[in-house]
Amino acid sequence: MKLIKFIFISFCILANSISMADESGERIFYGGVGSAKTGSSTQNGSAPFSLGFLSVPKSNDSVWGLDFAGEGTMLDSTYGQNKVPAQAISFNFLLGKNFTKSESSRFDGAVILGGRQTVQECPASYNGWQCYADRAPNTSYGFNFGVLIAFTYNGITLGARATGQSSQAIIGWRF
């Protein structure tokens, strides 16, 4: 859990630094949520979510961004468990294009490419820790891909985000 917190905080700092570097453009910050799948002994049943931003330069039609999401299934063998399905965390880069824009609205699309947790495991602890001797678990990652579309009108953004692991509605704001 400490690793996830560290990665999330690092991701937020990086996103803020990158977006501040592009003074000539605007930013769209968004959050997304999707419906939960039925959980089973091999599939996670938690509702997917995402948080991210898009940087939309005024000088050209390119769009890029970063997002962090809880989506799909990761097999967790920590805390003495035997490959229990848990929600996977993904970290993604978005690269796309603006399709149309006016003074008060814009329509953007982006490809999502990134990595997603697939397995987290470690030797069992007999003292209640996540792993033996309170070591960090070994985490394996897989490829994550998808698309995002976003329509923005007067600063409010609505759209959809779909990957190989989840489908989500997004809402955000532009400034």
Contacts of 119 (CB under 8 A, 6+ apart): 74, 75, 76, 77, 83, 139, 140
Min mean pLDDT across 18-27, 112-121, 135-144 is at: 18-27
Provide the percentage of residues in the chain whose pLDDT is more than 90: 56
pTM: 0.82
What domains appear along the chain, each with residue ranges and CATH number? 2-174 (2.40.160)
Instruction: Give the DSSP H or E segment for 3.
Output: helix 2-21
Task: Please tell me which residue, 153 or 25, carries the higher pLDDT value.
Answer: 153
What mean pLDDT is reported for the chain?
86
| Mean pLDDT, residues 81-102 | 92
Task: Please tell me which residue, 148 or 44, carries the higher pLDDT value.
Answer: 148
| Mean pLDDT, residues 96-108 | 92
Both tokens of residue 174?
């532009």
Using the predicted structure, report yes or no on whether residue 4 has a pLDDT greater than 60.
no
Q: What pLDDT does residue 81 have?
A: 81
| Mean pLDDT, residues 127-144 | 87
Contacts of 161 (CB under 8 A, 6+ apart): 32, 50, 67, 69, 112, 146, 147, 148, 167, 168, 169, 170
Task: Please tell me which residue, 1 or 172, carries the higher pLDDT value.
Answer: 172
Q: How confident is the model at residue 51 (pLDDT cuts 50, 70, 90)?
A: very high
- DSSP letter at 132 equals G
Distance from C-alpha of 169 to C-alpha of 148, rounded to nearest angstrom:
10
| Mean pLDDT, residues 45-72 | 92
Q: Is 170 helix (H, G, I), strand (E, B) or coil?
A: strand
